[in-house]
Structure 1
């Protein structure tokens, strides 16, 4: 048992050990890279694979599916449940305050943002004693930073936060 542990330790220290099942890849003795699992393709979000397969293809070819009604019900039930799922991502917080007028001020900030950037989703939240307005649904921090740079002149105190997000629109 000690021999196996020693060999694994030596391989780990020399940088040759690769554990792809756990998504851990060691490249050098002092560096460990952890690679995240692939992100779901949102072009198929809330779409039934059964419906996609039965649509005509580029050359007009069509696939005919024969399955029981139970399979289709199960797929539809799964899709309805998927609509409420969230994933970890980033948003930009443009308002964060706990003063007496924070409620009305946060609603003003949110309405002002939505009037200028109507393609970006905005979220109003109250976690006692704070009122918060966060905007966007971004999978990566760099996407959130792009919006932050765009709005920084209008919202100088804005910053990026990690939150549970809705699936970003296509």
Structure 2
């Protein structure tokens, strides 16, 4: 199933990480989903391309409002151990998706992914729902540096 998505202003936010190239992001979207075979066709307007290039050139250490998927939260006595087990299990099943374990008194929380749009978070949630049935999307502030780190890691893997 082929889905078409017009990406203009959203590319600015996704590709704002200075080291992540627009082409790498396009390639990621073009790749068919392993489970459903769906893919995204990107249509970029000229103004968006120049805005992305200028953001990539700047070296801001800012954050964007995005989404992650929460797969665990608890405040019981065994919450730390359970959060660590959930993190390890997620890394084993989905090694290419970033996972974050946090402690926000009194809760241990495990979230995954770096999604720019709510729709992207819902898709990620659907992919992992079989393994993590309590998964749900949440809104978070995502440092732009995580996008730069992920593209640098991909570049190293391709070498």
Name the TM-score, length of structure 2 as normaliser: 0.57
Residue number among 17, 39, 50 corresponding to 1:45 in the alignment = 17
1:106–1:133: 8 Å Cα contact kept in structure 2? Answer: yes
Q: Which residue of the partner structure matches residue 149 of structure 1?
A: 126
Residue number among 106, 109, 130 corresponding to 1:129 in the alignment = 106
1:137–1:166: 8 Å Cα contact kept in structure 2? Answer: no
State how many pairs are aligned: 101
Q: Distance in 2 between matches of 1:44 and 1:116?
A: 29
Shift in alpha-carbon separation, 1:119–1:99, aligned structure 2, 3 A: same
Gaps spanning 5+ residues in structure 2: where? 1-7, 20-57, 152-159
Greater Rg over alpha carbons, structure: 1
Higher relative contact order by CA 8 Å / sep ≥ 6: 1 or 2? 2
Shift in alpha-carbon separation, 1:101–1:46, aligned structure 2, 3 A: same
What aligned pairs does 1:86-101 form with structure 2 within 5 A after superposition? 86-101=63-78
Gaps spanning 5+ residues in structure 1: where? 1-36, 48-77
* Alpha-carbon offset, residue 166 of structure 1: 3.3
* Alpha-carbon offset, residue 91 of structure 1: 0.5
What is the root-mean-square deviation of aligned Cα atoms in Å? 2.1
Q: Distance in 1 between matches of 2:80 and 2:100?
A: 13
Matched, 1:163 2:145: no
Q: Distance in 2 between matches of 1:100 and 1:166?
A: 31
Name the TM-score, length of structure 1 as normaliser: 0.54
* Alpha-carbon offset, residue 38 of structure 1: 2.1
